[in-house]
Amino acid sequence: MTQIKRETKETKIEIIVDIEGKIKTQISTGIGFFDHMLEALAKHSGIAMQVYCEGDIEVDYHHSVEDVGIAIGSALYEEVFPIKDIERFSNVVAILDEAAVEVDLDIGGRPYLVYEMPVDGAIRDFDLELVEEFFKSLVFNFKIAAHIVYKRGSNKHHIVESAFKSFAVALKRALKYSNSGIPSTKGVL
Protein backbone atom coordinates (compact mmCIF):
# COMPACT_ATOMS: atom_id res chain seq x y z
CA MET A 1 0.00 0.00 0.00
CA THR A 2 1.37 3.39 -1.02
CA GLN A 3 0.23 6.82 0.09
CA ILE A 4 0.98 9.99 -1.88
CA LYS A 5 0.27 13.52 -0.72
CA ARG A 6 0.57 16.34 -3.23
CA GLU A 7 -0.15 19.97 -2.51
CA THR A 8 0.18 22.88 -4.91
CA LYS A 9 -1.40 26.32 -5.10
CA GLU A 10 -4.14 24.70 -7.20
CA THR A 11 -4.76 21.31 -5.59
CA LYS A 12 -4.49 19.37 -2.37
CA ILE A 13 -4.45 15.63 -2.98
CA GLU A 14 -4.16 12.53 -0.81
CA ILE A 15 -4.09 9.15 -2.50
CA ILE A 16 -3.70 5.62 -1.21
CA VAL A 17 -3.18 2.86 -3.77
CA ASP A 18 -3.21 -0.84 -2.88
CA ILE A 19 -2.52 -3.21 -5.78
CA GLU A 20 -3.66 -6.12 -3.61
CA GLY A 21 -7.09 -4.51 -3.26
CA LYS A 22 -7.26 -4.83 0.53
CA ILE A 23 -8.67 -1.38 1.27
CA LYS A 24 -12.05 0.03 0.33
CA THR A 25 -12.07 2.20 -2.79
CA GLN A 26 -13.28 5.74 -2.12
CA ILE A 27 -13.11 8.51 -4.70
CA SER A 28 -13.83 12.19 -4.08
CA THR A 29 -12.52 14.86 -6.45
CA GLY A 30 -15.56 17.12 -6.65
CA ILE A 31 -15.86 16.21 -10.35
CA GLY A 32 -18.71 13.73 -10.81
CA PHE A 33 -17.81 12.27 -14.19
CA PHE A 34 -14.13 11.97 -13.25
CA ASP A 35 -15.04 10.19 -9.99
CA HIS A 36 -17.12 7.74 -12.06
CA MET A 37 -14.15 7.02 -14.36
CA LEU A 38 -11.73 6.55 -11.43
CA GLU A 39 -14.18 4.14 -9.80
CA ALA A 40 -14.25 2.13 -13.05
CA LEU A 41 -10.43 2.17 -13.14
CA ALA A 42 -10.19 0.85 -9.59
CA LYS A 43 -12.95 -1.75 -9.99
CA HIS A 44 -11.74 -3.30 -13.23
CA SER A 45 -8.02 -3.23 -12.38
CA GLY A 46 -8.57 -4.80 -8.96
CA ILE A 47 -6.43 -2.00 -7.51
CA ALA A 48 -8.06 -0.34 -4.53
CA MET A 49 -7.75 3.44 -4.48
CA GLN A 50 -8.64 6.13 -2.03
CA VAL A 51 -8.52 9.44 -3.87
CA TYR A 52 -9.28 12.76 -2.21
CA CYS A 53 -8.75 15.97 -4.14
CA GLU A 54 -9.57 19.55 -3.26
CA GLY A 55 -8.91 21.60 -6.36
CA ASP A 56 -9.62 24.98 -7.85
CA ILE A 57 -12.57 23.57 -9.76
CA GLU A 58 -14.17 27.00 -9.78
CA VAL A 59 -11.43 27.87 -12.31
CA ASP A 60 -11.79 24.63 -14.24
CA TYR A 61 -11.10 20.92 -13.79
CA HIS A 62 -7.69 20.80 -15.49
CA HIS A 63 -5.47 21.13 -12.41
CA SER A 64 -7.41 18.53 -10.43
CA VAL A 65 -7.50 15.95 -13.24
CA GLU A 66 -3.83 16.39 -14.15
CA ASP A 67 -2.61 16.33 -10.54
CA VAL A 68 -4.70 13.28 -9.65
CA GLY A 69 -3.11 11.53 -12.66
CA ILE A 70 0.36 12.51 -11.40
CA ALA A 71 -0.39 11.24 -7.90
CA ILE A 72 -1.96 7.93 -9.02
CA GLY A 73 0.92 7.32 -11.44
CA SER A 74 3.49 8.07 -8.73
CA ALA A 75 1.74 5.75 -6.26
CA LEU A 76 1.52 2.94 -8.82
CA TYR A 77 5.22 3.37 -9.61
CA GLU A 78 6.09 2.99 -5.92
CA GLU A 79 3.80 -0.04 -5.65
CA VAL A 80 5.16 -1.90 -8.69
CA PHE A 81 8.82 -0.96 -9.29
CA PRO A 82 11.32 -2.50 -9.37
CA ILE A 83 9.37 -5.10 -11.27
CA LYS A 84 9.82 -8.82 -11.44
CA ASP A 85 7.57 -11.83 -11.75
CA ILE A 86 4.83 -10.05 -13.71
CA GLU A 87 3.55 -10.53 -17.24
CA ARG A 88 4.60 -6.94 -18.12
CA PHE A 89 2.70 -6.67 -21.45
CA SER A 90 -1.03 -6.77 -22.12
CA ASN A 91 -3.64 -5.91 -24.70
CA VAL A 92 -7.36 -5.41 -24.03
CA VAL A 93 -10.41 -4.23 -25.93
CA ALA A 94 -13.29 -3.33 -23.64
CA ILE A 95 -16.70 -2.51 -25.01
CA LEU A 96 -19.63 -0.59 -23.66
CA ASP A 97 -22.61 -1.05 -25.93
CA GLU A 98 -21.52 0.37 -29.33
CA ALA A 99 -18.17 1.70 -28.11
CA ALA A 100 -14.85 -0.15 -28.16
CA VAL A 101 -11.41 1.12 -27.13
CA GLU A 102 -8.18 -0.86 -27.29
CA VAL A 103 -5.37 -0.45 -24.77
CA ASP A 104 -1.88 -1.94 -25.08
CA LEU A 105 0.43 -1.68 -22.05
CA ASP A 106 4.09 -2.25 -21.29
CA ILE A 107 5.06 -1.93 -17.64
CA GLY A 108 8.70 -1.55 -18.50
CA GLY A 109 9.98 1.71 -17.03
CA ARG A 110 9.87 3.63 -20.32
CA PRO A 111 7.07 6.22 -20.34
CA TYR A 112 5.24 6.76 -23.59
CA LEU A 113 1.65 7.50 -24.53
CA VAL A 114 -0.13 7.02 -27.83
CA TYR A 115 -3.60 8.53 -27.48
CA GLU A 116 -5.91 8.21 -30.48
CA MET A 117 -9.35 9.08 -29.17
CA PRO A 118 -11.42 11.27 -31.51
CA VAL A 119 -13.75 12.56 -28.81
CA ASP A 120 -14.16 16.25 -28.23
CA GLY A 121 -16.55 18.58 -26.53
CA ALA A 122 -17.76 17.81 -23.05
CA ILE A 123 -19.80 15.42 -20.99
CA ARG A 124 -21.93 17.75 -18.92
CA ASP A 125 -19.22 20.22 -17.82
CA PHE A 126 -16.26 17.82 -18.07
CA ASP A 127 -14.03 18.85 -21.00
CA LEU A 128 -13.04 15.64 -22.81
CA GLU A 129 -9.52 16.88 -23.60
CA LEU A 130 -8.87 16.23 -19.88
CA VAL A 131 -9.05 12.47 -20.47
CA GLU A 132 -5.78 12.66 -22.41
CA GLU A 133 -4.26 14.90 -19.72
CA PHE A 134 -5.15 12.34 -17.05
CA PHE A 135 -3.66 9.41 -18.93
CA LYS A 136 -0.56 11.42 -19.88
CA SER A 137 0.07 12.32 -16.24
CA LEU A 138 -0.57 8.78 -15.02
CA VAL A 139 1.55 7.07 -17.71
CA PHE A 140 4.57 9.36 -17.38
CA ASN A 141 4.64 9.19 -13.58
CA PHE A 142 4.05 5.43 -13.54
CA LYS A 143 6.81 5.11 -16.18
CA ILE A 144 4.88 2.77 -18.45
CA ALA A 145 4.01 2.79 -22.14
CA ALA A 146 0.34 2.86 -23.12
CA HIS A 147 -1.44 2.97 -26.45
CA ILE A 148 -5.09 4.00 -26.08
CA VAL A 149 -6.85 3.67 -29.42
CA TYR A 150 -10.50 4.25 -30.34
CA LYS A 151 -11.96 1.43 -32.43
CA ARG A 152 -15.62 2.43 -32.74
CA GLY A 153 -18.51 4.13 -31.02
CA SER A 154 -20.68 7.22 -31.07
CA ASN A 155 -21.67 7.91 -27.46
CA LYS A 156 -18.98 10.04 -25.78
CA HIS A 157 -19.67 8.63 -22.32
CA HIS A 158 -19.42 5.06 -23.60
CA ILE A 159 -16.19 5.75 -25.51
CA VAL A 160 -14.42 7.37 -22.55
CA GLU A 161 -15.63 4.73 -20.12
CA SER A 162 -14.43 2.02 -22.52
CA ALA A 163 -10.97 3.63 -22.44
CA PHE A 164 -10.85 3.61 -18.64
CA LYS A 165 -12.10 0.03 -18.45
CA SER A 166 -9.68 -1.18 -21.13
CA PHE A 167 -6.80 0.52 -19.35
CA ALA A 168 -7.88 -1.04 -16.05
CA VAL A 169 -8.14 -4.59 -17.36
CA ALA A 170 -4.87 -4.22 -19.31
CA LEU A 171 -3.18 -3.08 -16.11
CA LYS A 172 -4.59 -6.02 -14.18
CA ARG A 173 -3.32 -8.46 -16.82
CA ALA A 174 0.11 -6.85 -17.15
CA LEU A 175 0.57 -7.08 -13.37
CA LYS A 176 -0.46 -10.75 -13.29
CA TYR A 177 2.06 -12.97 -11.54
CA SER A 178 4.58 -14.76 -13.71
CA ASN A 179 7.52 -16.70 -12.31
CA SER A 180 9.78 -15.40 -15.07
CA GLY A 181 11.90 -13.16 -12.84
CA ILE A 182 12.68 -9.82 -14.46
CA PRO A 183 10.53 -9.71 -17.62
CA SER A 184 13.28 -8.55 -19.97
CA THR A 185 15.94 -10.20 -22.11
CA LYS A 186 18.32 -7.50 -20.83
CA GLY A 187 17.96 -8.83 -17.30
CA VAL A 188 17.13 -5.36 -16.01
CA LEU A 189 14.39 -2.79 -16.45
Residues 166-176 have pLDDT tens digits of 999 999 999 99
Report pLDDT digits (tens) over 105-153: 999 999 999 999 999 999 999 999 999 999 999 999 999 999 999 999 9
pLDDT > 90? residue 12:
yes
Residue range 2-174, CATH number: 3.30.230.40
67-84 pLDDT tens trace:
999 999 999 999 999 888
CA-to-CA separations, 7 to 16, 60, 68, 93, in angstroms, rounded: 15, 17, 11, 35
- Structural domain spans, the chain: 2-174
Task: Provide the pLDDT confidence category of residue 185 given band limits of 50, 70 and 90.
Answer: low
Q: Is residue 144 within 8 Å of residue 69, measured between CB atoms?
A: no
φ, ψ of residue 68 to 5 degrees: the values are: -65, -40
